[in-house]
Structure 1
Amino acid sequence: MSAGLAISLDAMGGDHAPDMVVRGADIARQRFPQVRFLFFGDEARLKPLLKDFPALAATSEIHHADTVIKMEDKPSQALRGGRGSSMRLAIDAVQSGSAHAVVSAGNTGALMAMAKFVLKTMPGIDRPAIASFFPTMRSESVMLDLGANIVCDASNLVQFAVMGNVFARTVLGVREPSTGLLNVGSEELKGHDAVREAAAILRQANLPGRFHGFVEGDDLAKGTVDVFVTDGFTGNVALKSIEGTVKLYGYFLRQSFGSALLAKLGYLLARPALNALRARVDPRRYNGAIFMGLNGICIKSHGGTDAFGFANAIGVAVDMVQNGAIENMKRDFDQMMTIPGAVTGTAAV
């Protein structure tokens, strides 16, 4: 299924680039042996690294880039001065058709600004959104927006719901996704106007799956729905809260098992189960946030990830391409255009 599929990589993006990027691509190559990789970065540094991975080198191309977008660079600065950067050239490869998707662990703001400038937004979409998935009691769910749009109106939230629906189908493999709007209560009268207007529109929508209605913060861990929709401010706070809670419980477990000799013996007995738990909540497994709503697939890897995490971000890109995420999204938005208020967010509540 992956024959002829090319992924462009910002080889210089991330805390541990380019070594991490090359090693991550080699891990991904073993999972997707027919995928080609286009590395954009410092050729003098990339060539020696690829020599250590001959199988990867045989299916890869190096495209030299003179400059690198730094983590501290402002998006406007990156747009003005980053035309020859590894990030910009990797995005350009998607726009020109040389690659099917781009993956970068670099500066998030710069990547979003460049991707939006080069790839443009799809018809019917006002703003792209950042989406990612996480483990729940039930399975896995996707949430968006995660920080790209702080203030959103009803039409923005409806657009995010369509994007999340496509993500759930193409990446999570859910045929009939359920969608919920994150709110301060599940009752229909709860929440501000934008959330209630978006709910009224989504109740009329003919998207695959079903619209669940309003969901609350504790529904995130339960996995009450497959797609959680919210504004970027709330989504980012919720995501960071989840990540912090996981670290807190990990800290408590280490303290508890190291508190006494019997506790240490208990750890030895429980180690297989704890290893399984660690693997289940390993953030590297869920690495790869997607900039949804663009005319091209752009994946943002965590800047501090290792090769295993970066390989999973590449896997998200491959899944999006193979399952026709862009085509599905365009089709769904064409259907939404026929629903009153779906574009302007003015449906009656």
Structure 2
Amino acid sequence: MSLPRIAIDAMGGDEGVRVMVSGAALARRRHDRFKFLLVGDEVRIKAALDNHPNLRGASEILHCDDVVAGDEKPTAALRRAKTTSMGLAINAVKTGDCGAAVSAGNTGALMAMSKLALRTMPGIDRPALAALMPSLGDNDVVMLDLGANTECDARNLVQFAIMGAAYSRIVTGKDAPRVRLLNIGTEDIKGTDSVQDAARALRAATGLAMSFEGFVEADKINRGEVDVVVTDGFSGNIALKAIEGSARFVTDLLRNAFTSSLRSKIGFLVSRPATELLRHHLDPNNHNGGVFLGLNGVIVKSHGSANTQGVANAVAVAARLLEESLTERITADLAELGTEKLRDKGSSAK
């Protein structure tokens, strides 16, 4: 089965062309149906392709030597949307030349450009950044929003829940993913007005392909008790960074402990299979690929520091969302109930 081409912003991320091209090549080796539009400096891309002949025949190069800087303000990047590798990759999705775009560049600029070029889907007020996080359960956890919207009302949170559930159904195969709102407690009386109103609307809703189970606290996100965690971008980004920092802390702590003495080093050799499994499970490259949900097109954000494996995973996320028709699923879910009915139920429950 062939898929629409995937546009790769080859200039984005900490290492740019080398890792973006090698990541696309690894994805291509795993799934030979992938085809690409590589956007960036043609000379550097061709040099990188010399090491990946499997990718060369499946790719076209769109030359561009203008790059969005990692610390560039989104407003400044928007003015150069027609000349930068990031902007041209997004535009390829807008024109239909590609089905999805992957970038490891500036997150704020990527969101701003994507929203301006692709617009939000009918029934969605704001797009949200969603990502997969490891858990002790049988599947990863979908969490959104992770920084695109620092302030959200109840209507936004309800829409995020619908989009997150549609994404979760694709990655978990569950017909009704367990959805919870991030809160400071699980009691019904806890939380801000927006969180409370969103919970009332979701409890009252019928026809949604999800199982709304109330609230979840931050320390339970990865316990395997929830499939979709919904929150505003401010809280979500803080929770994400705290979880990633804790994972690095644990791995560094174990490394220091196992190298502190000869006895510890022997203990490390004995327990190495378990520690390697832990390292693999916590490695963000193995869960790489944030998605801007709610746009008229598929845009995937890779970690700026992602390695080849991480970029390949981000490409695989983009391909799977194309394959499983994510935007069409979200549209169907919104139509099943209607955003106006959700707003009415949320307001009448106050």
Structure 1 ranges of 4+ moved more than 6 A: none
- 2:157 is aligned with 1:153: no
Question: What are the superposed Cα offsets for residues 68-115 of structure 1, whole Å, 9 maximum, x if unpaired?
Answer: 111121111111123111111110111111111000001111100000
Q: Which residue type is aligned with residue 152 of structure 1?
A: C
Q: Distance in 1 between matches of 2:276 and 2:339?
A: 50
Q: Which range is displaced more, 165-174 or 300-309?
A: 165-174
Coordinate RMSD, CA, aligned: 1.4
**Equivalent residue, structure 2, for 1:200:** 200
Aligned ranges 1:315-334 → 2 under 5 Å: 315-334=316-335
- 2:299 is aligned with 1:335: no
Q: Distance in 2 between matches of 1:192 and 1:172?
A: 30
Q: Distance in 2 between matches of 1:308 and 1:343?
A: 45
Classify the secondary structure of the residue corresponding to 1:304. Answer: coil
Classify the secondary structure of the residue corresponding to 1:171. Answer: helix
Classify the secondary structure of the residue corresponding to 1:299. Answer: strand
Q: Which residue type is aligned with residue 12 of structure 1?
A: M
Q: Is the 8 A contact 2:141 2:222 kept in 1?
A: no
**Equivalent residue, structure 2, for 1:15:** 14
Q: Which residue type is aligned with residue 169 of structure 1?
A: R
Question: Normalised by the size of structure 1, how large is the TM-score?
Answer: 0.96
Q: Is the 8 A contact 2:3 2:35 kept in 1?
A: yes
Q: Relative to 1, partners in 2 of residues 1:111 and 1:75: Cα closer, same or farther, differing over 3 Å? A: same
**Equivalent residue, structure 1, for 2:249:** 248
Q: Distance in 2 between matches of 1:338 and 1:227?
A: 20
Q: Which range is displaced more, 3-12 or 156-165?
A: 3-12
Q: Is the 8 A contact 1:78 1:110 kept in 2?
A: yes
Deviation at 1:45, TM superposition (A): 1.1
**Equivalent residue, structure 2, for 1:125:** 124
Deviation at 1:345, TM superposition (A): 4.6
How many pairs does the alignment contain?
Answer: 348
Deviation at 1:341, TM superposition (A): 3.8
- 2:228 is aligned with 1:265: no
Deviation at 1:30, TM superposition (A): 1.2
Classify the secondary structure of the residue corresponding to 1:149. Answer: coil
Q: Distance in 1 between matches of 2:118 and 2:340?
A: 27
**Equivalent residue, structure 1, for 2:51:** 52
Aligned ranges 1:263-302 → 2 under 5 Å: 263-302=264-303
Q: Distance in 2 between matches of 1:166 and 1:185?
A: 26
Q: Is the 8 A contact 1:5 1:34 kept in 2?
A: no
Q: Is the 8 A contact 1:153 1:345 kept in 2?
A: no
Identity of aligned residues (%): 48
Classify the secondary structure of the residue corresponding to 1:291. Answer: strand
Deviation at 1:340, TM superposition (A): 2.9
Classify the secondary structure of the residue corresponding to 1:245. Answer: helix
Q: Which range is displaced more, 80-89 or 235-244?
A: 80-89
Q: Is the 8 A contact 1:204 1:339 kept in 2?
A: no
Question: What are the superposed Cα offsets for residues 108-150 of structure 1, whole Å, 9 maximum, x if unpaired?
Answer: 1110000000000001111111100111111311110001111
Deviation at 1:256, TM superposition (A): 1.3
Q: Which range is displaced more, 217-226 or 297-306?
A: 217-226
**Equivalent residue, structure 2, for 1:312:** 313
Q: Distance in 2 between matches of 1:43 and 1:191?
A: 52
Deviation at 1:190, TM superposition (A): 1.4
Question: Normalised by the size of structure 2, how large is the TM-score?
Answer: 0.96
Q: Distance in 2 between matches of 1:289 and 1:196?
A: 27
Q: Is the 8 A contact 1:169 1:175 kept in 2?
A: yes
Q: Is the 8 A contact 1:115 1:298 kept in 2?
A: yes
Question: What are the superposed Cα offsets for residues 149-181 of structure 1, whole Å, 9 maximum, x if unpaired?
Answer: 111110000010011001101233333201001
